[in-house]
A = this chain, B = another copy of it.
Amino acid sequence: MYFASDNTSGAHPKVMEALMAANDGYAMPYGADPIMDEVRQMIRDKFEAPNAAVYLVATGSAANALSLACLCPPWATIFAHVNSHIEEDECGAPEFFTGGSKITLVEGDHARMDPDALRKTIAHTARAGVHNVQRGAVSITNATEAGAVYSVADVTALASVAKEFGLPVHMDGARFANALVSSNASPAEMTWKAGVDVLSFGGTKNGCMGVEAVVIFDPGKHDPWEFELRRKRGGHLFSKHRFLSAQMKAYLQDDLWLMLARHANAMADRLSTGILAIDGAKLMHPTMGNQIFAYWPRAGHRKAMDAGAKYYFWPFDQSLDGPDDELLSARLVPSWSTTEEDVDQFLSLIAG
């Protein structure tokens, strides 16, 4: 019953197999391995983007920060949701990699930026010319940090606002697969067709060991060489790169990534439905991907935690001490490896 985060799960057996296979013999380093050529082609195919530049790094923060550094100069600002990962959970990585840009916060429910709020915020920025930080880039997290998912229409609406101001659009897709299967969209529809310029395409949370792709859809507009230099300079270019490539290849092969995300989302749905059946329980955010934010009575929390279930109160500062029937809120994040048994056992515990 590990619901603390999808990053507490391991890697899918096929990913491990691929690593074992890739370990055979010698391979040229730093991305010159032949598996990387396959990965590049697979991503281009899946995203219907034959010219896309594709790079691999090992962490989501690296993917985001390096991407944003290519899109936003030091004297500009990134527009992102108040509860985005880049704002809240990367210890200032975007600020560091960009060389000191800002993040300007945009409101919206369930950690989704509201297009009107975005337009108003951008319009409000840089009105006094040289005295102000300039308008830099828009960063959209899909799925969001609150478990919601932007539909293709939602992404298009935000990207359109960005384009009104001539700004590039980044998508933080640490849980891109979960968002995609939730919205029944194609990879292309959810990204470049909707106006996304650069995607952080997550693998780690959804069954890999540690790999994320950065996809630059139009290398004529955003220089891949700059990305490569920033990646190297950031210490993010792997020498034994084949081990990143192998993970990503296994992840993409036979649509493993979509299958795993479908499973995680289904487990979230099962959890969510089960929670709502508990007397007094309710959701904080709609369950659209693989994250649940819900309230249920303290008694259930106590029973689950006593039984060793791992998850976080959300917000953190709540306590098991207090009246049994008081509602406490928590985040639950099932993953590709969560079983129906895990879910049902957990539900039976929290039902009190």
Contact = CB atoms under 8 A, between A and B. Distances in A.
Interface string A1-31: 0101101111100001001101111111110
A90 to B, nearest CB: 7
Interface residues of A, number: 79
Copies in the complex: 4
A337 B96 CA distance: 38
Nearest to A66: B235
A207 to B, nearest CB: 11
A243 B99 CA distance: 31
A59 interface: yes
Contacts of A240: 7, 10-11, 204, 209-210
A96 B233 contact: yes
A92 interface: yes
Nearest to A342: B26
A80 B230 CA distance: 23
A131 B60 CA distance: 13
A132 B16 contact: no
A242 B16 CA distance: 14
A4 B32 CA distance: 13
A137 interface: no
B92 A100 contact: yes
A237 B24 contact: no
Nearest to A23: B10
Contacts of A90: 131, 232-233, 235
Nearest to A25: B10
A229 to B, nearest CB: 4
B59 A91 contact: no
A127 to B, nearest CB: 6
14 contacts: A8-B26, A9-B26, A10-B240, A16-B19, A20-B20, A61-B237, A93-B235, A96-B233, A99-B100, A127-B316, A130-B228, A130-B232, A210-B243, A234-B234
Interface of A: 2, 4-5, 7-11, 16, 19-20, 22-30, 57-66, 73-75, 88-93, 95-103, 127-128, 130-134, 204-205, 209-210, 226, 228-230, 232-240, 242-243, 310, 315-317, 337
Give the 9 A-B residue pairs with the shortest CB-CB distance, closest first. A62-B235, A7-B239, A2-B26, A61-B235, A95-B100, A10-B23, A91-B232, A91-B233, A99-B99
Given A10-B27, A75-B91, A92-B133, 17 more contacts: A7-B239, A7-B240, A10-B24, A16-B19, A58-B210, A74-B233, A75-B233, A91-B133, A91-B229, A92-B101, A93-B232, A95-B95, A100-B100, A102-B103, A130-B232, A134-B229, A205-B239
